[in-house]
Chains A and B, each alone.
Chain A
Amino acid sequence: MGVTDKASDGDLVRRVREGDSRAFGALVGRYMRAAYAVSRSVTGGHQDAEDAVQEAFIVALERLEECRSPDRFAGWFLTIVRNRSRNLVRRETLRDTDRVPEGAPATGRTPEQVREHTELEERLQSALQKLPQTQREIVLLHDLEGWKHGEIAERLGLPEGTVRSHLHFARKALKSDPVLSEFQMEKGETV
């Protein structure tokens, strides 16, 4: 584990301001998954989420002087991610382009596994889209990125009780979603 991995967000931000590549790499490594989760909750698609995440990191780097509390970098950065993702969705809507196909399947999978994976992904995404934006974000940060309630609360600037409550209602809604439960029953899995 490198020194940069242990450093606080504030230290890393201060070093990045001076052009330290390793510090920036550490920030990217620390927040790329969370950024992806947040972006995916807004865009609903993989390719758009990836584009928005990359764009957000570059914008954040260029505007790093505007981050007035370096120790609260996460909240500031995730706001940029959210805004870039919304802009991207708006642009896509205006252009009305066809969706870019999702990423290539991993090697070593049978066509049947790939089909199942894609189908489940689409159903999960469809069920997610029915939730309010904040709940989508919290569910993905918790279930995909593995952040704890306290971390989500701190980084999104919400009370911890609100985060728990959002997560509870989101799960309840997802479990009762007919599209999702139907698929899980077909596969013999419990939601």
Chain B
Amino acid sequence: MTSNGRREQAKGDPSKGDLGFGILDPQLRSPGYWARLRGNVMERAANELYRRRLLRSVSVADLLQSWARMLVPAAAVAAAIGGFLLLRNPSNVAIDVEEALWVGLEDQTLADVMAQGDIDDPFLLIEGTF
């Protein structure tokens, strides 16, 4: 038996203990009530259902692709700006720390330097040289 059939039986069978609660069915007062209620609920649910469909249509590949679409041009622009700045003013080229320490020094070992000088103490030599 369908749920509608059972519903009707429940409402109209005093032998089965029906107490007349069928009268509380709003459809009795207002024909088409349930269809309208369902329509109202569907109308209110439309946005949420649309949001869910939209989420479902976005796959992981789409997500990565959308990131790539933003990241690749941004990285290219940053590289171009960096390159342009470097080429525009070569004197500003940065040198690393190790290079900075030996720039301007003659290529001699500490032993050679000490052998040339009068100072025996390497600490005094370093202090005097630098």
Chain A bound to chain B: yes
**Are A171 and B19 in touch, CB under 8 angstroms?**
yes
**Are B23 and A61 in touch, CB under 8 angstroms?**
no
Whether, in the assembled complex, A161 has its beta carbon less than 8 Å from a beta carbon of chain B, the answer is no
**Are A124 and B24 in touch, CB under 8 angstroms?**
yes
Assuming the A-B contacts A19-B50, A103-B26, A190-B14, are A32 and B41 also in contact, with contact meaning beta carbons closer than 8 angstroms in the complex? yes
> Across the two chains, which residue of chain A brings its CB closest to B42?
A25
Whether, in the assembled complex, A11 has its beta carbon less than 8 Å from a beta carbon of chain B, the answer is no
**Are B20 and A145 in touch, CB under 8 angstroms?**
no
**Are A33 and B9 in touch, CB under 8 angstroms?**
no
Whether, in the assembled complex, B79 has its beta carbon less than 8 Å from a beta carbon of chain A, the answer is no
**Are B21 and A61 in touch, CB under 8 angstroms?**
no
Size range of the chain B interface in the assembly? 35 or more
Contacts of A180 in B (CB 8 A): 19
Whether, in the assembled complex, A76 has its beta carbon less than 8 Å from a beta carbon of chain B, the answer is no
**Are B22 and A28 in touch, CB under 8 angstroms?**
no
Whether, in the assembled complex, B37 has its beta carbon less than 8 Å from a beta carbon of chain A, the answer is yes
Q: Which of B11, B46, B53 contacts A143 (CB 8 A)?
A: B11
Whether, in the assembled complex, B49 has its beta carbon less than 8 Å from a beta carbon of chain A, the answer is yes
Size range of the chain A interface in the assembly? 35 or more
Q: How far is the CB of B116 from chain A (nearest CB, A)?
A: 81
**Are B48 and A54 in touch, CB under 8 angstroms?**
no
Q: Which of A35-77 contact B (CB under 8 A)?
A: 36, 40, 46, 50, 53-54, 57-58, 61-62
**Are A18 and B56 in touch, CB under 8 angstroms?**
yes
Q: How far is the CB of A64 from chain B (nearest CB, A)?
A: 9
Whether, in the assembled complex, B73 has its beta carbon less than 8 Å from a beta carbon of chain A, the answer is no
Q: Which of A93-116 contact B (CB under 8 A)?
A: 102-107
Q: Which of A173-191 contact B (CB under 8 A)?
A: 174-175, 180, 184, 189-191
Whether, in the assembled complex, B28 has its beta carbon less than 8 Å from a beta carbon of chain A, the answer is yes
Sorted from nearest, which 8 A-B pairs have the closest CB atoms?
A: A19-B52, A19-B53, A146-B10, A146-B7, A146-B6, A143-B21, A18-B56, A57-B41
Instruction: Report 23 cross-chain contacts, Cβ distance below 8 Å, ordered by A residue.
Output: A16-B49, A21-B45, A24-B45, A29-B38, A32-B41, A36-B26, A46-B26, A50-B26, A53-B37, A57-B44, A104-B30, A105-B29, A107-B31, A121-B24, A139-B21, A142-B10, A143-B11, A143-B18, A144-B10, A144-B21, A146-B3, A146-B8, A171-B17
| Chain A residues packing against B (C-beta within 8 Å) | 16-21, 24-25, 28-30, 32-33, 36, 40, 46, 50, 53-54, 57-58, 61-62, 102-107, 117, 120-121, 124-125, 139-140, 142-148, 171, 174-175, 180, 184, 189-191
